[in-house]
Amino acid sequence: MTIDTFISTMAEELEIEQELTPETVFTELPMWSSLSMMELIVLIDREFHKSFTLSQIMECKTIQDLYNKASA
């Protein structure tokens, strides 16, 4: 999965209306909630076969950081 596909999948599944870029700090998005975090955990598990804890996700600041960690 490329970073572009990751961003578009994330936007679709988490129903994010804002324009996302690799530099977007995802936890600062206006609609971000604990539910968004759950959706992200499932998305990463399904696409990258990695199950991240909340703190592992919180260690990432931008979408690029998250993508790098998930695809590592």
Partner 1 sequence: MALLHFNGVGIAGMAAAVPARTVFNRSYMTDVYGVENVQALVDKIGIEERRFATEDVCASDLCCAAAERLLADTGTSKEDVRLLVFVSVSADYKFPPTATILQHRLGLPASTVAYDVTMGCSAVLYGLSIVYSMLPAMGGGKALLLIGDTNSRIYSPEDRTSAYIFGDAGTAMLIETGERFGESHFSINTDGSKYDLIMAEAGGSRHPSSAETLVSRVVDEHGNRRSLEQAWMRGGDVLQLVIANVPRDVRGLLAATGTAKGDIDYVLLHQANSFMNTYLAAKLGFPAEKVPSSIRRFGNTGGASIPLTMVSEMRGILAEPERKKILMSAFGIGMTWGSALLSVGGCKVSPIVEI
- Distance of closest approach, residue 33 Cβ to partner 1, in angstroms: 8
Residue 1 in contact with partner 1, rule: CB under 8 A:
no
Residue 11 in contact with partner 1, rule: CB under 8 A:
no
Are 57 and 40 a contacting pair, CB within 8 Å? yes
Considering only 1, 5, 12, 46, the residue that binds partner 1 (CB under 8 A) is: 46
Nearest alpha-carbon partner for 24 in 64, 56, 68: 64
**Cα separation, 34 vs 66, whole angstroms:** 17
Residue 38 in contact with partner 1, rule: CB under 8 A:
yes
Question: Where on the chain is the footprint of partner 1 (CB under 8 A)?
Answer: 33-35, 37-39, 41-42, 45-46, 51-54, 57
